[in-house]
Amino acid sequence: MVSPVWSMMRFLIKGSVAGGVVYLVYDQELLGSSNKSQAALQRAEEVVPPAMYQFSQYVCEQTGLKIPQLPAPPKFNFHIRESWNSGIMTVMSALSVAPSKACEYTKEGWEYLKERIK
């Protein structure tokens, strides 16, 4: 059985990580305009790989383990703005036709049941 102290520590650690993520998203204005989100993504692509390499080197030095060098990540020509806008438009389009489609499917269902009952 897990001790209550360990459960509380896990809760606090998870809460701290979640709070840090929320703060980071707010601080970097990731939920703002897509230009700011694109810029933050480009900054992350520049900063994260060297940081991961430095961390892996530190772990290797401290533990004596040898971590093989990973291949470079592929470069994507991916524009968040177009993907986000097309996703939002698809969702909004589906939501706008949902009531009429529900009515249509209900009528079809009633007709099917009437035919089966006869």
What ranges do the domains of the chain cover? 1-31, 33-70, 79-117
User: What local confidence, expressed as pLDDT, does residue 44 receive?
Assistant: 80
Q: Give tens-digit pLDDT for 29-66.
A: 777 777 877 788 788 888 888 888 888 888 888 888 88
The model carries a pTM of 0.38
User: What local confidence, expressed as pLDDT, does residue 82 receive?
Assistant: 65
* Start-end of H helices in 1-118: 4-27, 34-63, 80-117
d(CA 30, CA 104): 40
Token digits of residue 60:
């290797």
Which residues, at least 6 apart from 32, have a Cβ–Cβ distance to it below 8 Å? none
Mean per-residue pLDDT of the chain: 82
d(CA 65, CA 88): 46
